């Protein structure tokens, strides 16, 4: 497979450690495709769709797009939305739909409690969203978004702050069990640590 290429926007968030970011993307691809997916393995795309919140410049959306039928990705910062569209195009990825809304707004749109002009180009009913990927800022998801995320069968959670992740897990683990866990040291010899988790809804 051709290596992925990304444009980074000056002054906007990006993964700072390219080597570790590749490992993190490989892990996310594996667990997003299948609960027991092996890192580096290939396989057919799933028959359903991926929702990504906080997609930034499209780092995960572009990398995971081949694993799903469609990807619905959201990002609030216009410069990053433009970068995500450009990165998808540069990598020949055509199954990503981007919405410039916050995670909270997307939750309201999917639940039918509010509509947004910035999503008027999207037919939400065309998506079969069973997996959600979140890579929130250091503040974490917060209670409102965590409750929304818990409505999905499968959750891929990338965290840059274990403390706020722990708070979010108190909500998510009411309905989901933790199946996969990985640690990514983007900043060696510092207190900063990235973690990846796959949570799957418990059988009732």
Positions marked active-site: 160, 194
Closest CA to 39 of 48, 29, 50: 29
**What's the residue count for the chain?**
204
What is each CA distance from 165 to 151, 160, 177, 194, in whole angstroms? 18, 8, 15, 10
Q: Which residues pair with 52 in a beta bridge?
A: 73, 133
Distance (Å, rounded) from C-alpha 181 to C-alpha 158? 10
> What are the counts of helices (DSSP H) followed by strands (DSSP E) for the chain?
6, 7
Q: How much of the chain is in helix, strand and coil states, percent to nearest 5?
A: 35, 20, 45
Distance (Å, rounded) from C-alpha 182 to C-alpha 184? 7
């Amino acid at each position: 497979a051709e290596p992925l290429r990304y444009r980074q926007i000056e002054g906007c968030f990006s993964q700072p450690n390219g080597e570790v970011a590749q490992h993190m993307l490989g892990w996310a691809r594996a667990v997003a495709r299948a609960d027991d997916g092996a890192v580096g393995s290939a396989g057919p795309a799933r028959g359903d769709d991926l929702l990504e919140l906080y997609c930034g410049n499209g780092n995960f959306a572009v990398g995971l797009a081949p694993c799903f039928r469609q990807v619905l990705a959201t990002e609030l910062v216009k410069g990053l939305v433009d970068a995500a569209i450009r990165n998808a195009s540069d990598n020949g990825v055509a199954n990503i739909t981007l919405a410039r809304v916050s995670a909270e707004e997307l939750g309201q749109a999917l639940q039918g409690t509010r509509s947004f002009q910035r999503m008027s180009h999207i037919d939400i009913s065309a998506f079969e969203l069973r997996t959600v990927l979140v890579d929130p800022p250091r503040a974490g998801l917060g209670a409102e978004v965590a409750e929304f995320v818990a409505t999905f069968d499968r959750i891929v959670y990338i965290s840059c702050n274990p403390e706020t992740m722990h708070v979010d897990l108190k909500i998510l683990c009411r309905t989901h069990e933790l199946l996969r866990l990985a640690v990514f040291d983007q900043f060696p010899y510092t207190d900063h640590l990235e973690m990846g988790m796959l949570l799957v809804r418990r059988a009732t």
